[in-house]
Amino acid sequence: MFPRRQALAGLVATGATLLLPVPRKRLAAAQLPLTPPQTAGPFYPDTLPLDSDNDLVQIAGRDGIAKGIVTYVGGRVLASTGRPISGARIEIWQCDANGRYHHVRDSRSDRPLDDHFQGYGQATTDATGGYRFRTIRPVAYPGRTPHIHFVVSAPGIPRLVTQMYIAGEPGNDRDSVLLGVRDPAARAALIVSLRPATDGEPGALAGIFDIVIGQSAG
């Protein structure tokens, strides 16, 4: 196993410990608020890359790594009752450090593609609902503040399409998609603080994005 795979595996457990479980006696009275849905946007991959794992920074079979600041994003997927959802599929996609999506419709020739950035990845939640991705810190492009697209799906639960944003970005106050979430508390649930990663490579960042997708079946 490559060191980067070991780091990803270890960080799943780290992210899972940062959200305390809701006491069972309180579940009936206090449901967790659902993560707000967001538009999928125009650039969900038209063709999935051959390497579609949870490490978007390094493509299998290539020596180079993606441009940008390595960032670990993880957390837990929960039902509204606080119950962890294992086996949920999480997909993410985002533009590269040059502001380009790996999509045929993103044809901006003034911004070269980073051929070392995977652009899309997927993961499956573990028994605690935990997941983890190794990607880059998202960057802004014309009309949008930095963000990462998410799709979460699991049996018996409505599919969620949403986006994750970065705390402190000035564009957050002007982004029409983010501001489309009118409730300030719900909007804040989409915004993640990034801090230096404690067990990633030097200079890497890490953030926790917990996702609540509805009532678990059973």
Tell whether 111 is covered by a domain: yes
For residue 195, the 8-state DSSP code is E
Dist. CA 132–CA 43, nearest whole Å: 22
Domain assignment present for residue 93? The answer is yes
What pLDDT is stored for residue 194 in this prediction?
98
Percent of the chain with pLDDT over 70: 83
Is residue 186, in this structure, part of any structural domain at all? Answer: no
Q: Structural domain of residue 81, as residue ranges?
A: 3-17+31-170+194-212
Contact in structure between 154 and 2 (CB atoms under 8 Å): no
- Establish if 46 belongs to a structural domain: yes
CATH code for the domain of 76: 2.60.130.10
Residue 96 belongs to a domain: yes
* Confidence grade of residue 42 (pLDDT, cut at 50, 70, 90): confident
Determine, yes or no, domain membership for 78.
yes
Residue 43 pLDDT level (bands cut at 50, 70, 90): confident
Whether 88 is covered by a domain: the verdict is yes
**Average pLDDT score over the chain:** 86
Residue 145: closest CA among 168, 162, 122: 168
In a domain, 178, yes or no: no
% of the chain surpassing 90 pLDDT: 67
Q: What does the pLDDT look like over 64-113, one tens digit per residue?
A: 999 999 999 999 999 999 999 999 999 999 999 999 888 767 766 677 88
Domain count, the chain: 1
